Amino acid sequence: MRLTILGSGSPEAYARRASSGFLVEVGTDRILFDCGGGVVDNLLRAGHLPKDITHLFFTHYHSDHMMDYARLVHAAWDEGAPPLKVFGPRPLAKITNGYFGRDGVLNNDLRARTELPQSQQVWVARGGNLPRPWPAPEVTEITAGFTYQGEGWTLGSANATHAQPILDCLGFSVEADEKKFVYSGDTGINDDITNLSRDADLLLHWCYRGTGEILHPALQAFSPDPGDVADMAQSVGVKRLLLSHFRIHMDDPAAHKMALNDLSERFEGPAAIVEDLDVFDI
| Per-residue confidence band for 92, with pLDDT thresholds at 50, 70 and 90 | very high
The three-state secondary structure class of 123 is helix
- Name residue 174's beta-bridge partners: 155, 181
Instruction: Answer whether 0.95 is exceeded by the pTM.
Output: yes
Residue 14, judged by CB atoms within 10 A of its CB (0-12, 13-18, 19+), counts as middle
Residue 185, judged by CB atoms within 10 A of its CB (0-12, 13-18, 19+), counts as buried
Phi first, then psi: give them for residue 16, nearest 5 degrees.
Answer: -70, -35
Whether pLDDT at 219 is above 90: no
Q: How far apart are CA 158 and CA 119, in angstroms?
A: 44
Phi first, then psi: give them for residue 13, nearest 5 degrees.
Answer: -70, 125
Q: How far apart are CA 159 and CA 216, in angstroms?
A: 23
| Per-residue confidence band for 218, with pLDDT thresholds at 50, 70 and 90 | confident
The three-state secondary structure class of 56 is strand
Q: How far apart are CA 95 and CA 121, in angstroms?
A: 30
| Per-residue confidence band for 50, with pLDDT thresholds at 50, 70 and 90 | very high
Question: What tens digit of pLDDT does each residue of 55-81 get?
Answer: 999 999 999 999 999 999 999 999 999
Which one, of 163, 206, 188, lies nearest residue 62 by Cα?
A: 163
Q: Once rounded to an integer, what is the mean pLDDT over residues 4-12?
A: 97
Whether pLDDT at 94 is above 90: yes
- pLDDT of 236 reads 98
Handedness of CA 138, 140, 141, 143 (dihedral sign): negative
- pLDDT of 36 reads 98
Which one, of 104, 106, 70, 101, lies nearest residue 86 by Cα?
A: 70
